[in-house]
A and B are shown apart, each in its own frame.
Chain A
Amino acid sequence: MDKREKEQYLREYGILKSQGKPFFPYAIAKDGTMALITVLVIMLLSIILGAELGPKADPTTTSYTPRPEWYFFFLFELLRVIKPPALVFIATIGIPTVCMVLLILLPFIDRNPERHPARRPIATLTGVTVIALMAYLTVEGALAGAPGTITLKVAPQYAKGKAVAASSGCQGCHKIGENGNAGPGPPLTHIGSRLPRNAIARTLVNPTAPMPSFVNLQKQHPDQFNSLVDFLASLK
């Protein structure tokens, strides 16, 4: 903004200000009402949802699924989607730091004197895109399940196979419905319509690297192995 634009803004602002109302009581009334609503909402949330205290911190656990608080879900999801190990520090430090720096320097990046959203399309579009992206990542982070549960609903005769799949670590590399990791293995949600039953059994025993072989499961617990194959074959 050059000197002329600054002076013009200050002049217009002066006029609009003189046409306004005094802070007390008009703004104080609105602020007070909003403050009251805020406190009431906090109290209601405390009464209805309460403050649950989980089990005591146990660093020796191997079955717990750590999750951050909901307002960090967008960063959590970012860490899940950036898979190559060489890019890890970009997801953890790089992107958040760059965003913070851009945010701080915003008044110096955006020098357009226009303030109406319709007359500053770049700023408005960028803002809406960033908000939409953060909201999407937050929702995806909230839906990210633990690698030991499968929420897909199946007919009761496949329940045993589903339990075997959940406890055999398949979700470490495969997506089954909403749960599991999107790599390095292909999603198994519709594997039943892609491969016939005996092809599934063959792959489990003789897979392509890096998938491990489940030949031991077949030898030691053949009933579990068969129910697993039945379950996978039913995923059409």
Chain B
Amino acid sequence: MKLPTPPGLRRKPARPGSQPPKNGNRINGGAAATKKELKQAQRAKLKEQALEVPISMLGWLDERTGSTPFLRAFLFRKIPKGTNWYYTLGSATLFAFVNQAVTGVFLAMFYTPSATQAYTSTRHLTNDVWLGAFVRGMHKWGATVMVVLVFLHMGRVFFFGAYKYPRELNWIIGVVLLILTMAMAFTGYLLPFDQRSFWATVVGVNINASGPILGPYLADFLRGGSEFGATTLSRFYAIHMLLIPGLIAALIGAHLYLVAKLGTTAPPWLKAEKARELAEEEI
């Protein structure tokens, strides 16, 4: 059964007189004269038939979700004049995070978070698994790239003054995301359990212990006890895999929602020309 084309996807009819007539200049259509016109007509008909399938599928979805207005507003919204390549840093950071999540899932299939087996499982993954070293390298260097991009993005927003009204809440969410990213880097670093990981984590946990009164308790929470023990690695693994990625995903959702709703700023060296012209006219 052929469903009617949804109103959002129906092509608007062309303005009268803007297109050349389909049947040459014959009135009331006569017999199709040239071979070229026949071929063109055939091609146009084939194109329409080919497009019917995806359009009706989309129409099926749209009737059941009502999402066309939202998608239209999101995809075809206007971005301000002068948006340049600096504005791509935010989505590049998102992409680096997605890279970490995907490579992290693959690594999690081979890794064992126990103090006695973490190192051997990592070594097995790096040396014996096909593309294991490559995926692990992508995860490790992806972390560096993500930290760099996060700081570049923050710097761009700062120097463009894009944290001012009405985007203050977005900035706050962004700073929390920065802190969570550094926490991911800290917890993930312990997991291979080689010398560098172990000692960097010992120092990091003791840095937390240096806070007056509450510090040692915070260190106990991170370590799972007063000494580096059996549950420390599992804690770091759970925090790195489940707790913080969940928070990051939720906050990225909020961050992107605000970006789409409030819009990205125009570069600060652009002034709205029309406003000045209007103001001059008024005077």
Contacts and interface: CB of A to CB of B under 8 A. Distances in A.
Q: Do chains A and B touch in the complex (CB under 8 A)?
A: yes
Interface of A: 1, 6, 9-13, 15-24, 26-28, 30-31, 33-35, 37-39, 41-43, 45-47, 49-51, 53-59, 61, 64, 66-72, 88-89, 92-93, 100, 103-104, 106-108, 110, 112-117, 120, 123-124, 127, 131
Interface string B255-283: 00000000101101111101100000000
Interface of B: 74-83, 85, 87-89, 91-92, 95-96, 99, 119, 122-123, 126, 133-134, 136-142, 144-145, 147, 149, 155, 158-168, 171-172, 175-176, 178-179, 182, 185-186, 189, 192-200, 202-204, 207-208, 210-212, 215, 228, 263, 265-266, 268-272, 274-275
A67 B200 contact: yes
Given A9-B165, A66-B199, A68-B204, A22 B149 contact: no
A15 B119 contact: no
A16 B270 contact: yes
B203 A68 contact: yes
14 contacts: A12-B275, A13-B263, A31-B91, A33-B88, A37-B92, A38-B92, A42-B141, A56-B193, A68-B203, A69-B189, A104-B176, A107-B167, A124-B159, A127-B158
Contacts, number: 229
* 6 A-B pairs with the lowest CB-CB distances in the bound complex, closest first: A115-B161, A46-B137, A66-B199, A57-B198, A107-B168, A34-B88
A49 B78 contact: no
A106 B171 CA distance: 9
A32 to B, nearest CB: 9
Contact of B200 (A21, A43, A66, A113): A66
Given A45-B137, A51-B126, A17 B207 contact: no
Given A22-B77, A42-B138, 19 more contacts: A16-B270, A19-B80, A21-B81, A22-B79, A23-B74, A28-B75, A34-B88, A38-B95, A38-B149, A42-B99, A53-B122, A57-B194, A68-B203, A93-B207, A93-B211, A103-B175, A115-B162, A116-B268, A117-B159
Nearest to B228: A59
Contact of B80 (A16, A24, A93): A16
Contact of B161 (A30, A41, A64, A116): A116
A189 B176 CA distance: 45
B137 A47 contact: yes
A94 to B, nearest CB: 9
A45 B270 CA distance: 37
B195 A55 contact: yes
A15 B79 contact: no
B236 to A, nearest CB: 13
A18 B78 CA distance: 7
B79 A17 contact: yes
Contacts of A58: 195, 198
Nearest to A75: B207
B160 A115 contact: yes
Nearest to B78: A20
Contacts of B179: 100
A51 to B, nearest CB: 4
A9 B137 CA distance: 46
Contacts of B202: 66
A27 B87 contact: yes
Among B81, B176, B215, the most chain A Cβ lie within 10 Å of the Cβ of: B81
A17 B263 contact: yes
B185 to A, nearest CB: 7
B161 A114 contact: yes
A43 B159 contact: no
Contact of A6 (B147, B165, B176, B263): B165
A54 B195 CA distance: 6
Nearest to A115: B161
A92 to B, nearest CB: 4
B85 A67 contact: no
